[in-house]
Amino acid sequence: MAFDLGSPFIFPLRIAQVIFAIIVLGIMAYVVNWFNTYAFFLFASSSPSQANFLLFTSIWTLLVLVYLIIAPVRFQSFAHKYAILGVESGLDVCGASEAGVAFSAFEWLLFLISTAMAAMHCWNTKDSSNTTHGPAIEVQHQPGGTISSPQVFIATRSTSGIGRELSKILYAHHAKVYLATCSPEKASATIETLKKAHPESKGGLVFLKLDLDDLTTIKASAQEFLSKEARLGVICNNAGVMLPPPHSKTKQGYELQLGTNTIGPFLLTKLLTPFLVKTAKISTPGAVRAVWVLSSAARTFAPVGSVDMGNLDFKK
């Protein structure tokens, strides 16, 4: 799990920190340039060491902010909670040295807040590790090292983005992955690419026709899977749409994001739940599960208070 200070307010806070850091950098760059351009000719002196140091700390602050924003999302192995706390504390020192500049004082205050949040997060999670691990991919081995029964996965929207990367990782670990998507052409191309990337895999890649914006087709997709497999280890509901054209609807008239991201995957999971339960009874505890992939943007843009259950289709 990416380190996020345990707060939904961290992203807006980071944006504010970036804005103030850019302002301070601009001010410092202007001051240094003025000294080096005009003061040199008037007083035969270059910019004072204090101004040069403030320019350096401004640049360093921006670089570190890039790490603080990107690492927890894209490079989680480099975003350990204590590393974040150390970086936050270091920026406090830089901010204190800049606080004589008006905008730097605000920047310093923001870093004091995020440092306090980082410290509280470390304290609250002191008995837990920084990351969590998903279920192990169960693979039954026969004498001689051959694989007899790979774990079976369903990954929706598996021809691009996270779904494709997930399928690639699972297949590389000898899992059998059903690529549940609506386009047979894209699925075929993805299967060919993944097989070429991992020719040593003993797993499998299978196309499963799935159209999440049409509820009448989902039962047929579930039945097709059930007719081919004796068990199901994990279903990963990854498919989703974001910011479609206004008033976009599913085949049944639901708002497109609600229908594709929530209702369709819920129906598919509901239809396969008895099969998941059956598989769990003969599998390692914790190895069978249903996974829902969500966006961290929900923390920033979710309705204040709660979802308006009376306006799910945005008709009001």
Write out the chain's pLDDT in tens, 316 residues. Answer: 334 444 556 667 777 777 777 777 777 777 667 666 665 554 445 555 666 666 676 777 777 777 666 666 555 555 555 555 555 555 544 444 444 455 555 565 666 676 776 677 666 665 554 444 444 444 444 444 333 456 899 999 889 888 899 999 999 999 999 999 999 999 999 999 999 999 999 999 999 999 999 999 999 999 999 999 989 999 999 877 888 888 889 999 998 988 999 999 999 999 999 999 999 998 888 889 999 987 776 666 666 777 777 777 767 6
Q: What is the spatial distance between Cα 139 and Cα 287, in angstroms, rounded to a whole number?
A: 11
The domain tally of the chain equals 2
Within this chain, do residues 215 and 265 fall inside the same structural domain, yes or no? yes
Residue 267: how many other CB atoms lie within 10 Å: 16
Within 8 A by CB and 6+ apart from 270, the residues are none
Is the pTM higher than 0.75? The answer reads: no
* Residue 178 in domain: yes
Q: Check whether residue 103 and residue 240 sit in a common domain.
A: no
Residue 167 CB-half CA count within 13 A: 31
- Kindly state whether residues 33 and 177 are assigned to the same domain: no
In a shared domain, residues 119 and 143? no
**What are residue 289's phi and psi, to 5 degrees?**
-165, 165
Q: Render pLDDT for 232-271 as a digit per residue (tens, 0 to 9).
A: 999 999 877 888 888 889 999 998 988 999 999 999 999 9
One domain, residues 111 and 226: no
Domain annotation covers residue 47: yes
Residues of the domain holding 81? 10-124
Query: Are residues 192 and 282 both part of a single domain?
Result: yes
Mark whether 160 and 108 lie in a shared domain. no
Q: Residue 129 and residue 108: Cα distance in Å, rounded?
A: 29
Q: Which residues, at least 6 apart from 122, have a Cβ–Cβ distance to it below 8 Å? A: 81, 82, 85
Tell me which of 97, 124, 151 is where a domain ends. Answer: 124
